[in-house]
Amino acid sequence: MVMMDDNDLTICVCTYNSAGTLEGCLSSVRRSAPDGRLLVVDHGSTDSTREIAKRYDALLIIEHKGLGYARQLCFDSTNTEYLAFVDSDVEIRDNRFFKTGAKILTDQKRGAIVGMAEGHRFAYGLPAGLLLLRKRDFKGRVIPEYIDARETYFIEKRLSQLGLRVVYLADAMIHRSQFRKFKPEWEGANTRLACGLSLRQLLFAFRVVVLIALNSRSIKNLAYTPIFYLKFLRGFVEPSRWRRLRRKGGDA
């Protein structure tokens, strides 16, 4: 069986004021795919994000619309066989993640490979922190530009239309999230914008919140779960107020 060559892969990192974590992210990307095409889509950062990206020989694209627009730019700017999304606050720990994922994707019934965080045992949905896809499955418009979170809903929708399954690889990365204060409302607002008044998506969101807390193995996080979900519902009810994340630093 022919193994994936790095030249078959584009790694896309969407950023916003990510200087605090981007060095570790891009360093891990280069360890995992030294010759892969590296694309950084930056949301008008004011810190040293762009300088760091240039040090790693990344193709830098600047945008000012939001995360959904940035993700679509990644699809539009990729001509390689495979496309990977890596969040700027993620460090890849499994240096064979891309090659293992590409081998799994030779099965045409599988369409996405999710890298799970170290120590996490409960898989859920389609998080884009570390995600490998076949580019040919995502031709044309995938994600509307008005979305600023929950953009993976539209990737999941495309996979469902094609009848493709998701595969999860354990202990693939570590995730150092920097946006927490208003994240529940932001996720709730964009869930409403993406999915409308969907009871199914509300139940799915609650399940995800619980599984994230269980993965953390923290009593504090488990206790906070009802509060997090109530904040999520506040964003869901008032999407126009919470659709944009209030952030001063960190990744997109």
171 lies in the same domain as 196: no
Domain boundary pick from 132, 155, 175: 175
User: Is residue 250, in this structure, part of any structural domain at all?
Assistant: no
29 lies in the same domain as 121: yes
| 202-248 pLDDT, tens digit each | 999 999 999 999 998 899 989 999 999 999 999 999 999 999 876 55
User: Is residue 45, in this structure, part of any structural domain at all?
Assistant: yes
| 70-82 pLDDT, tens digit each | 999 999 999 999 9
Q: What pLDDT is attached to residue 248?
A: 53
Number of domains in the chain: 2
Domain boundary pick from 157, 175, 193: 175
35 lies in the same domain as 155: yes
Would you say residue 252 has pLDDT above 60? no
Q: What pLDDT is attached to residue 182?
A: 59
Cβ-based neighbour number of residue 221 at 10 Å = 15
61 lies in the same domain as 27: yes
Return all residues near 224 (Cβ < 8 A) that are at least 6 apart.
Answer: 213
124 lies in the same domain as 234: no
User: Is residue 228, in this structure, part of any structural domain at all?
Assistant: yes
User: Is residue 1, in this structure, part of any structural domain at all?
Assistant: no
60 lies in the same domain as 155: yes
30 lies in the same domain as 122: yes
> Mean pLDDT of all residues in the chain?
93
135 lies in the same domain as 48: yes
User: Is residue 15, in this structure, part of any structural domain at all?
Assistant: yes
CATH number at residue 115: 3.90.550.10
Query: What contacts 24+ positions apart, CB below 8 Å, involve 95-98?
Result: 95/31, 95/32, 96/32, 97/32, 97/130, 97/132, 97/169, 97/172, 97/173, 98/4, 98/6, 98/9, 98/32, 98/33, 98/36, 98/132
Q: What pLDDT is attached to residue 178?
A: 57
Domain extent at residue 112: 6-175
Least confident stretch, 24-38, 95-109, 178-192: 178-192
Q: For residues 249 and 205, which has the higher predicted lDDT (pLDDT)?
A: 205
Q: What pLDDT is attached to residue 177?
A: 72
50 lies in the same domain as 167: yes
226 lies in the same domain as 138: no
139 lies in the same domain as 44: yes
Domain boundary pick from 175, 198, 225: 175
CA–CA gap between residue 218 and residue 120 (Å, rounded)? 12
104 lies in the same domain as 188: no
User: Is residue 252, in this structure, part of any structural domain at all?
Assistant: no
CA–CA gap between residue 118 and residue 132 (Å, rounded)? 17
Q: What pLDDT is attached to residue 251?
A: 42
Q: How confident is the model at residue 6 (pLDDT cuts 50, 70, 90)?
A: confident
User: Is residue 249, in this structure, part of any structural domain at all?
Assistant: no
